[in-house]
Amino acid sequence: MTARISPLSDIAPGARIGDDVTIGPFCVVGPDVTIGDGCRLDSHVSITGRTTIGCNNRFWPGCVIGGEPQDKSYHDGDTTVIIGDNNQFREGVTVNRGADKEDGCTRVDNRNLIMANAHVAHNCHVFSDTILVNGVLLGGHVHVHDKAIISGNTCVHHFSTIGTLAFVSGGCRVPHDIPPYMLAAGSDNPHIHTLNLVGLRRSGMSNSTIDHIKRAFRLLFREHKALDKVWDYFHTELDGVLPLELMVLLNFIETQRKGKMGRGREAVRTAATTDAKADAA
């Protein structure tokens, strides 16, 4: 089935449009854009830059995808946006293409719901099955792991990571990583409040694994045990066979604590700065 394109939209020569794509009125699609089968652009949607979009994505009115990064170091670099399948971008969502840092790419994987007026900045990676509620702002280089939920009007500091199945309350300023499975609350510098038990149960995680994660939460965030002691405890308790989900949690916290300012990925920026200084010399 061919695409259905409103004559009121501007589709540049060279744009690659898949089958069964619907493009409503007053949309703009640039020459280096690829749109996969079954996508829908309602109206007043702008997709520019070197942007590749998978199948069955929907863009509500006012979305701007692939715009230049809001980064002073950017000077017309050949950077990209890559979007997977079955995502929903509600009204006014903006996704900037990468800056000339890391791999120069902003990524949104599969089955994400990005609600009205949310912003995904340059070099971010939104994994799969996440929800970014209205007005969420992701700074540059933020990673949001699978099935995480970030509530409305929350601002996430650049290079922060939101872990798998984490839940961040609304109106937060998040200057550091949020570990997997945790519920973070507090308008400024949110603390780990409790486990995201609803999310864990809905994910299909076994009761025994949830019990181990509960125990890890108590040891780490209530009793404030040293991380190496927590590793030792579970290796002894479980005869060295730890569930994958528990290892994801402990490895995440280990990486976070090796970083700076509570952000494990700060090492990425530090390495890039060091390389730039070496090149300049």
Q: Are 85 and 211 found together in one domain? A: no
**Per-residue pLDDT at 66 exceeds 80:** yes
**Per-residue pLDDT at 1 exceeds 90:** no
Task: Provide the pLDDT confidence category of residue 268 given band limits of 50, 70 and 90.
Answer: confident
Which pLDDT score, from 0 to 100, does residue 129 have? 98
Sign for the pseudo-dihedral over CA of 209, 213, 219, 222: negative
Q: Give 1-23 as a DSSP string.
A: ---EE-TTSEE-TT-EE-TT-EE
- For residue 276, being part of any structural domain is answered with no
- For residue 225, being part of any structural domain is answered with yes
Domain count, the chain: 2
The CATH number of the domain holding residue 131 is 2.160.10.10
- For residue 118, being part of any structural domain is answered with yes
Express each pLDDT in 79-90 by its tens digit.
Answer: 999 999 999 999
Express each pLDDT in 114-131 by its tens digit.
Answer: 999 999 999 999 999 999
**Per-residue pLDDT at 169 exceeds 60:** yes
Helix, strand, coil percent values for the chain (each to nearest 5): 20, 25, 50
C-alpha to C-alpha distance for 35 and 19, rounded to whole angstroms: 9
| Residue 131 half-sphere exposure toward CB, CA atoms < 13 A | 12
Which pLDDT score, from 0 to 100, does residue 267 have? 80
Are 106 and 139 contacting, i.e. CB atoms less than 8 angstroms apart? no
Q: Are 100 and 14 found together in one domain? A: yes
Which pLDDT score, from 0 to 100, does residue 277 have? 47
For 16, the domain range is 4-141
Are 137 and 120 contacting, i.e. CB atoms less than 8 angstroms apart? no
Q: Are 135 and 210 found together in one domain? A: no
- Going by C-alpha positions, the residue among 188, 123, 131, 184 that lies closest to residue 155 is 188
- For residue 184, being part of any structural domain is answered with no
C-alpha to C-alpha distance for 173 and 135, rounded to whole angstroms: 12
Task: Provide the pLDDT confidence category of residue 139 given band limits of 50, 70 and 90.
Answer: very high
- For residue 147, being part of any structural domain is answered with no
Q: Are 25 and 125 found together in one domain? A: yes
Average of per-residue pLDDT across 144-148: 98
pTM more than 0.85: yes
* Longest CA pairwise span in the chain (Å): 68
**Per-residue pLDDT at 4 exceeds 60:** yes
Q: Are 133 and 206 found together in one domain? A: no
Percent of the chain with pLDDT over 90: 90
Average of per-residue pLDDT across 49-65: 98
Task: Provide the pLDDT confidence category of residue 57 given band limits of 50, 70 and 90.
Answer: very high
Q: Provide Rg for the chain, Cα atoms.
A: 21
Higher pLDDT, 117 or 277: 117
Percent of the chain with pLDDT over 70: 95
Put the strands of the sheet holding 80-83 in their side by side order: 16-17, 33-35, 50-53, 80-83, 105-108, 125-126, 143-144, 161-162
Which pLDDT score, from 0 to 100, does residue 188 have? 82
Which pLDDT score, from 0 to 100, does residue 264 have? 95
- For residue 186, being part of any structural domain is answered with no
- For residue 38, being part of any structural domain is answered with yes
Dihedrals φ, ψ of 178, to 5°?
-115, 115
Q: Are 128 and 253 found together in one domain? A: no
Alpha helix positions (H), the chain: 197-202, 207-217, 227-237, 244-258, 266-280
